[in-house]
Amino acid sequence: MKTKLKSTLTIILLILAGEAVFILPFVLQRIFRPTFLETFAINNTQLGSCFSVYGIVALFSYLFGGPLADKFRPHVLMSVALILTASGGFYLASYPSLLNLHILYGFWGFTTIFLFWAAMIKATRIWGGKNRQGIAFGFLDGGRGLVAALFGSAGVFVFSLYISKDIEFTTLQERQIAFKQVILYASIVISVIGVLVFFFLKNLQSSTADSDLSVETMAANSQTLTIDNFKAVMQYRAVWLLMIIILCAYFGYKMTDIFSLYANQVMLYDEIKSAKIGTYLLYMRPIIGVVIGGLADRTRATLWIVIGFVLMVLTSLLFASGIVNSNTTLLFVLSIGIMALGVYSARVLYFAVLEEAKIPLAITGTAVGFISVVGYTPDIFAGPLMGYFLDANPGAVGLEHTFGLMVGFSVVGLVASVVLWRRSGKATVITKQKSR
């Protein structure tokens, strides 16, 4: 019973940390995008350029942060990353200039990726053991969605507390003061989570009896020469396919950033109602994460990634066609719900496939870093690309063109995921035959 409780507390901390570190760089902008643009006096293209700086720093951070996670304990890297990220939030609350905002995003690219990302993935893989990777990553991503939703709901609540009248009648200064409180609240909570991770995530180990995976085992198996790790990782074809799959699925995930903008500009919702749309979607993540993760453990993770891309293709085509507008509220709700189902399904199982692909635990950090170098390049180009189309044709037309981009990425991701699904199926059959 004590072991089970400890295991439960471990995954809860991983979930809290896993989303808290990205609240300031991404979640606030996803939920409060119209407010963020207005209070910082920037446009979509300029915000996209901030994301690009983040992505460029992250590109190198993925590559070198992966081997770092194979050498140091996850709780140390994660706690330092959380506290440093929160410190950037306190600076964000001062409403820095556009230049300094770029520098801040570069700083966050270092704290959230170099120190945090691979350490979190490896810690989750250790917790899941050999036979529960789907549920481990399902809990992680689904739980992260719940945490983001709770942050979002609390943020909307804090924002509304400082708005004493209908938002249409408030001044820019009043909205800036209200949004500053949201940023400060988020920064304080992230700092607290960083402290909890340091003290309570020290003795990480598998949640099941199917393996002896632990922090100590991880350290013992970790190779000294990271160049050997990279060579070993590159031998797995699944690694190269995962690069393409994550790139396309992550672009789809970045598209969820503009749902609140779509609600504001096309569905004609006010800023608070638009923010609530983004928040409501986040509540889908925990349900999807747990359900899809459980199904993946009973079937195959790659199958559900394929299904996720099919849903993304269909719904992005619908938005790109311009059919969804202020006269089709029900269609809007159904469409964003189904698109979120597709995006989150693929996202949940990114790295659950590592076990299916038989990639050794000892080089997990290096594998994650290597895959992420290409897989997460949308952090560099998605923001400016989306910002260009949104600003070139403000309103419905720009949003339709942006969803047209998603159609292309979703189709490519679907092809790559089908190839991985078929290859992993053949590998599973061969493995079973050899074991008889």
Per-residue pLDDT reduced to its tens digit, 25-72: 988 888 888 889 999 999 988 998 999 999 899 888 887 887 787 778
Does the pLDDT at position 360 exceed 80? Answer: no
Does the pLDDT at position 353 exceed 50? Answer: yes
Find the angle CA(139)-CA(144)-CA(149) to the nearest 5 degrees: 130
Gap between the terminal Cα atoms of the chain = 36
Q: What is the pLDDT of residue 44?
A: 85
Does the pLDDT at position 361 exceed 60? Answer: yes
Do 209 and 215 form a contact (C-beta atoms < 8 A)? no
- Mean pLDDT score, 282-290: 80
Q: What is the pLDDT of residues 138-182, one digit of tens each?
A: 888 778 878 888 888 899 899 888 887 676 677 888 889 999 999
65/76 Cα distance (integer angstroms) = 13
| CB-based burial label for 327 (10 Å; 0-12, 13-18, 19+) | exposed
| Cross-strand pairs, 214 | 205
Q: What is the pLDDT of residue 432?
A: 45
Q: What is the pLDDT of residue 208?
A: 52
Most confident of 92-96, 142-146, 149-153, 280-284: 92-96
Q: What is the pLDDT of residue 284?
A: 81
268/363 Cα distance (integer angstroms) = 49
DSSP letter at 116 equals I
- Mean pLDDT score, 290-307: 86
- Mean pLDDT score, 124-147: 79
Q: What is the pLDDT of residue 355?
A: 73
21-35, 109-123, 200-214, 312-326: least confident range: 200-214
Does the pLDDT at position 123 exceed 50? Answer: yes
Specify the length of the chain in residues: 436
Most confident of 276-290, 291-305, 415-429: 291-305
Q: What is the pLDDT of residue 256?
A: 84
| CB-based burial label for 272 (10 Å; 0-12, 13-18, 19+) | middle
Can you tell me whether residue 348 is helix, strand or coil? helix
Confidence of residue 122 (pLDDT cuts 50, 70, 90): confident
**What percentage of the chain has pLDDT greater than the value 70?**
89
Residue of higher predicted confidence among 212 and 89: 89
Confidence of residue 97 (pLDDT cuts 50, 70, 90): very high
Q: What is the pLDDT of residue 207?
A: 54
One DSSP character per residue, 40-83 reads: TT--HHHHHHHHHHHHHHHHHHHHHHHHHHTTS-HHHHHHHHHH
Domains in the chain, CATH or no CATH each: 2-200+223-435 (1.20.1250.20)
Q: What is the pLDDT of residues 201-238, one digit of tens each?
A: 877 655 554 444 455 444 444 444 467 777 778 878 88
Q: What is the pLDDT of residue 206?
A: 54
Look over the chain and give the mean of its residue pLDDT values, rounded to a whole number: 84
Do 251 and 382 form a contact (C-beta atoms < 8 A)? yes
